[in-house]
């Protein structure tokens, strides 16, 4: 814990409950500012030190307008820059020099914001001078690197290189000839205003390696503003405490590319606190949920810089109910904390939502309440928490327990449980691997003798899974609740050119289990390696009666699928996957009895 930035108990407990108002966030941000100044000091003392003239310019700006300089130094992509510099210095090479050179542009941006009269040198990269939080001047041809002169007098600023001069407009967030300003989004409801940057320019905005979108035109930026306005109205109406915290700490939105059909993807970075990277939102209610989710990460990342909550065991990984990949204890804590906030968001919204929004809200609330409870149980049992971490997670548990008795409509509960089981099944199929020798041995006995015993539980071998993978069945469940008319129109396509996969998923979601089973059998025969098909088969079996294979496939789908693939590889005749699961039941019973791996325990299996 930093000597001069202790977290008072009341603020710590508020954060543990998933809350924390503007005073809590300002306390965290004060500590972040100290961290940023320490980074600058470390950079100044480094071998290839920062530009001294730029440092003097920054100091002069700070003396004139300390609040403006503090805001700039806490701008998420300035903190990301300083963090990148420290990493690159350890690595050495030209990249470190290029990052350090950007300090001149940081100092120029601070001086412009402070209203100084000055002349300074800025760095040109790829023909542009990027000034964080303000915009960029296009002063040379693409690919050109060099230097530019910046002059500011009486609030009028100009950037020049060679014979190219670019005058900044009076409002630097507006566009002008040769100048592209960082968009600002301003929204207000019931006297509560939010003012954030929509940053599609800063060279240090790609902290998540998810692919930032390029420059937005005015119409696209206005679309973001309208959706943010709607999201803000949901938050102001039902969650004033969180609104106050976001007003104090949410600084920038970074548009992510939607190439490849990616939607609903969002992320934060510990290097860029106060920024949320997100694909273009088209739905105000879900945008509000994403803001709550990501701002939870922002708060927790800042707290973790001050107070250690866990000690990560090298190589240890956990099932996380909202990720496709196994997560370390820190990742599990981050997810549980984010969805604690999301659970509270939906719980509060249920008081005012109507129609399809209300039906979907119940589904989302029930799903994330149960998944967060699971993750908290894993954290409590992990033996990785520090004393402060145990207190923090206990506060999370108490906050979540307040939502325990909220009733759910039967359909929302059913669909939530299906989504939870679906995710766990697909995760197992992607990331758990049975022993190959035992699989080969058992597969060789198919059709000729009993399977024998399996003694080794599956082991964790994480698949290389990218974020933003579509989840068709979850999307269909959500659509059926939120927009029943659109869902009905989609169902009408089932017999008129719809793919076998969509036909199977529609049948499963609407509980026509026999039709779903037939379709998933065909899909598995065509693509035996697709985990989504196996998971659909299991869900359909669980919804049918008289299938003893349901338990085998629910508990160890990865073993059944691996044996199936081995048989298909060695024999021309593919087995029926349900018949195979029934035949494997005695062998799976022996794996269940060994209890040699956490992946074989009931709390990891699909309930």
Tens digits of per-residue pLDDT, 205-248? 998 888 999 999 999 999 999 999 999 999 999 999 999 999 99
pLDDT at 524: 97
pLDDT at 48: 62
Q: Which of 9, 20, 11 is nearest to 340 (CA)?
A: 20
Distance in angstroms (rounded) separating the CA atoms of residues 515 and 504? 7
Q: Look at residue 416 and give its three-state secondary structure.
A: helix
Strands 275-279, 179-181: pairing kind: unpaired
Two tokens, residue 292: 């709550």
Which of 57-71, 120-134, 205-219, 488-502 is predicted least confidently? 488-502
Show Cβ contacts of residue 227 under 8 Å, excluding neighbours closer than 6 positions.
281, 282, 283, 284, 287
Distance in angstroms (rounded) separating the CA atoms of residues 230 and 96? 42
Two tokens, residue 551: 């338990």
Helix intervals (H) in 211-280:
218-238, 240-249
Q: Which of 152-156, 231-235, 587-591 has the highest mean pLDDT?
A: 231-235
**Strand boundaries in 386-451, DSSP class E:** 432-433
pLDDT at 547: 72
Give the containing element (helix H, strand E) for 459.
strand 459-460
Show Cβ contacts of residue 178 under 8 Å, excluding neighbours closer than 6 positions.
137, 138, 139, 164, 165, 166, 167
Report the C-alpha dihedral over residues 579, 580, 585, 590, rounded to 10 degrees. Answer: 170
Specify which residues 233 forms β-bridges with.
Answer: none
Q: Which of 270, 285, 165, 298 is nearest to 228 (CA)?
A: 285
Between residues 326 and 208, the one the model is more confident about: 326
Instruction: Find the helix packing angle between 531-543 and 577-594, rounded to 10°.
Output: 90
Q: Residue 606: is its pLDDT beyond 50?
A: no
- What average pLDDT score do residues 451-468 get? 83
Confidence of residue 495 (pLDDT cuts 50, 70, 90): low
- The dihedral built from the CA positions of residue 493, 494, 496 and 498, taken in this order, carries a sign that is positive
Distance in angstroms (rounded) separating the CA atoms of residues 225 and 248? 19
Distance in angstroms (rounded) separating the CA atoms of residues 471 and 111? 48
Which of 81-90, 330-339, 349-358 is predicted least confidently? 81-90
Two tokens, residue 442: 């058992």
Cα distances (angstroms) measured from residue 55 to each of 72, 100, 151, 277:
14, 12, 17, 30
pLDDT at 3: 52
Distance in angstroms (rounded) separating the CA atoms of residues 304 and 12? 11
Confidence of residue 592 (pLDDT cuts 50, 70, 90): confident
Confidence of residue 599 (pLDDT cuts 50, 70, 90): low
DSSP secondary structure code for residue 600 in this structure:
G
Between residues 105 and 546, the one the model is more confident about: 105
Between residues 403 and 87, the one the model is more confident about: 403
Q: Which of 595, 16, 18, 598 is nearest to 319 (CA)?
A: 598
Distance in angstroms (rounded) separating the CA atoms of residues 362 and 346? 8
What percentage of the chain exceeds 70 in pLDDT?
93
Q: Residue 488: is its pLDDT beyond 80?
A: yes
Q: Could you write out the DSSP letters of every residue in 188-210?
A: EETTEEEEEEE-S--TT--SSSS
Show Cβ contacts of residue 103 under 8 Å, excluding neighbours closer than 6 positions.
43, 50, 51, 54, 55, 81, 85
Q: What is the CA radius of gyration of the chain?
A: 27
Q: Which of 421, 417, 426 is nearest to 558 (CA)?
A: 426
Distance in angstroms (rounded) separating the CA atoms of residues 489 and 153? 62
Q: How many residues does the chain have?
A: 607
Cβ 345 vs Cβ 239: under 8 Å: yes
CB atoms within 10 A of CB 595: 11
pLDDT at 68: 96
φ, ψ for residue 167 (rounded to 5)? -95, 130
Q: Could you write out the DSSP letters of every residue in 269-306?
A: -TTSTTEEEEEPP--HHHHHHHHHHHHHHHHHHHHHHH
Give the containing element (helix H, strand E) for 118.
strand 118-124
């Amino acid at each position: 814990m930093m000597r001069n930035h202790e977290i008072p108990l009341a603020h710590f407990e508020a954060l543990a409950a998933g809350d924390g108002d503007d005073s809590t966030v300002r306390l965290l941000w004060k500590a972040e500012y100290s961290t940023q100044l320490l980074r600058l000091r470390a950079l100044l003392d480094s071998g290839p030190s920062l530009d001294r003239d730029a440092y003097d310019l920054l100091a002069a700006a700070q003396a004139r307008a300390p609040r403006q300089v503090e805001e700039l130094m806490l701008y998420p992509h300035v903190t990301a820059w300083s963090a990148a510099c420290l990493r690159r210095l350890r690595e050495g090479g030209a990249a470190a020099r290029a990052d350090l050179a950007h300090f001149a542009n940081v100092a120029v941006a601070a001086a412009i914001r402070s209203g100084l009269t000055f002349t300074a040198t800025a760095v040109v990269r790829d023909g542009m001078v990027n000034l964080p939080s303000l915009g960029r001047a296009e002063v040379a041809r693409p690919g050109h690197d060099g230097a530019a002169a910046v002059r500011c007098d009486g609030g009028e600023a100009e950037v020049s290189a060679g014979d190219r001069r670019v005058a900044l407009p009076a409002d630097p967030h507006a566009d002008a000839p040769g100048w592209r300003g960082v968009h600002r989004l301003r929204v207000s409801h019931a006297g509560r205003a939010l003012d954030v940057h929509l940053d599609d320019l800063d060279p240090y905005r790609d902290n998540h390696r998810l692919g930032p979108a390029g420059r937005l035109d005015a119409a696209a930026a206005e679309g973001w503003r309208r959706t943010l306005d709607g999201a803000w109205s949901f938050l102001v109406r039902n969650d004033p405490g969180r609104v106050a915290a976001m007003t104090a700490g949410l600084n920038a939105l970074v548009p992510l590319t939607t190439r490849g059909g990616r939607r609903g993807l969002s992320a934060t970075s510990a290097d860029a606190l106060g920024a949320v990277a997100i694909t273009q939102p088209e739905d105000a209610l879900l945008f509000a949920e994403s803001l709550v989710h990501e701002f939870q990460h922002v708060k927790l990342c800042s707290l973790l810089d001050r107070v250690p909550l866990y000690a990560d065991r090298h190589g240890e990984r956990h099932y996380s109910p909202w990720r496709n990949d196994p997560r370390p204890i820190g990742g599990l804590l981050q997810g549980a904390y984010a969805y604690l906030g999301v659970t509270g968001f939906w719980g509060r919204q249920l008081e005012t939502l109507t129609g399809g929004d209300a039906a979907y809200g119940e589904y989302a609330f029930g799903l994330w309440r149960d998944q967060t409870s699971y993750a908290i149980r894993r954290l409590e049992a992990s033996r990785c928490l520090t004393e402060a971490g145990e207190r923090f997670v206990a506060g999370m548990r108490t906050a979540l327990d307040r939502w325990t008795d909220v009733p759910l409509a039967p359909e929302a509960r059913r669909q939530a449980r299906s989504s939870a089981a679906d995710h766990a099944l697909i995760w197992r199929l992607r990331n758990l691997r049975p022993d190959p020798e035992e699989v080969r041995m058992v597969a060789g006995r198919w059709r000729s003798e009993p399977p024998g015993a399996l003694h080794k539980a599956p082991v964790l071998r994480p698949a290389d899974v990218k974020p933003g993978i579509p989840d068709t069945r979850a999307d269909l469940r959500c659509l059926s609740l939120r927009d029943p008319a659109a869902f009905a129109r989609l169902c009408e396509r089932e017999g008129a050119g719809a793919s076998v996969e969509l036909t199977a998923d529609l049948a499963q979601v609407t509980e026509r289990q026999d039709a779903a089973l037939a379709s998933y059998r065909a899909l598995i025969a065509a693509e035996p390696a697709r985990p989504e098909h196996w998971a659909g088969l299991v869900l359909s079996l669980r919804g049918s009666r008289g299938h003893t294979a349901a338990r085998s496939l629910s508990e160890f789908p990865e073993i059944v699928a691996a044996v199936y693939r081995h048989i298909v590889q060695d024999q021309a005749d593919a087995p029926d996957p349900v018949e195979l699961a029934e035949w494997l039941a005695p062998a799976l019973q022996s794996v269940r009895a060994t209890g040699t791996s956490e992946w074989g325990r009931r709390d990891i299996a699909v309930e």
